[in-house]
């Protein structure tokens, strides 16, 4: 299974008046995870853009298991989820490195839009089919 890890320091601006990381910021951590995965396996946002596509997020889910406080450090583990559809799917685990707790899990789904027309690609783009053959064999 393809996966990637990245460590992230919490920003003060990412906390809220409860003194913990504001829940919506986990989607930024997932984004950090996806880009770390992309750098490791050659599937970065800009690589995909150069192939002619935007890949907007069409679905995201976050399950929070424990709060994260300012001063703590987290690790995001990003796992590629294979699919026959023209989609890119990831699962995420966020570990609080200061407590060794799993603090959140989540999922995202992306589709391919033609960069110029912004129309949905229903078929898997060639470059992505090849990437999957090369990486998932």
DSSP string of 10-25, one letter each residue = PPGGGB-TTSBB-GGG
Helix, strand or coil for residue 133?
Answer: helix
Site for a copy of itself in 69-88 (CB under 8 A): 69-71
Binding a copy of itself (rule: CB under 8 A), the pick from 5, 35, 40, 101 is 35
Q: How far is the CB of 137 from a copy of itself (least distance, A)?
A: 28
Nearest CB to a copy of itself, comparing residues 70 and 127: 70
Q: How far is the CB of 35 from a copy of itself (least distance, A)?
A: 7
CB 105 within 8 A of CB 93: yes
Q: How far is the CB of 110 from a copy of itself (least distance, A)?
A: 10
CB 74 within 8 A of CB 96: yes
- Check binding of 62 to a copy of itself (CB under 8 A): yes
Strand-pairing partners, residue 21, are 15
Sites of contact with a copy of itself (CB under 8 A):
9, 11-13, 15-20, 22-25, 27-28, 31-32, 35, 44-46, 54, 56-64, 67, 69-71, 118
């Amino acid at each position: 299974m393809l996966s990637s890890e990245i460590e992230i320091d919490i920003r003060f601006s990412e906390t809220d008046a409860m003194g913990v990381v504001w829940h919506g910021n986990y989607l930024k951590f997932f984004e950090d995870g996806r880009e770390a995965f992309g750098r490791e396996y050659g599937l970065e946002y800009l690589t995909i853009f150069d192939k002619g596509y935007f890949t907007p997020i069409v679905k995201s889910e976050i399950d929070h298991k424990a709060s994260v406080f300012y001063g703590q450090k987290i690790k995001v583990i990003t796992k590629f989820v294979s699919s026959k559809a023209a989609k890119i799917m990831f699962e995420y685990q966020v570990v609080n490195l200061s407590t060794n707790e799993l603090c959140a899990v989540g999922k995202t789904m992306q589709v391919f839009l033609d960069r110029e027309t912004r129309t949905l690609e229903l078929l898997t783009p060639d470059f992505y089919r090849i990437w999957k053959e090369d990486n998932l064999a």
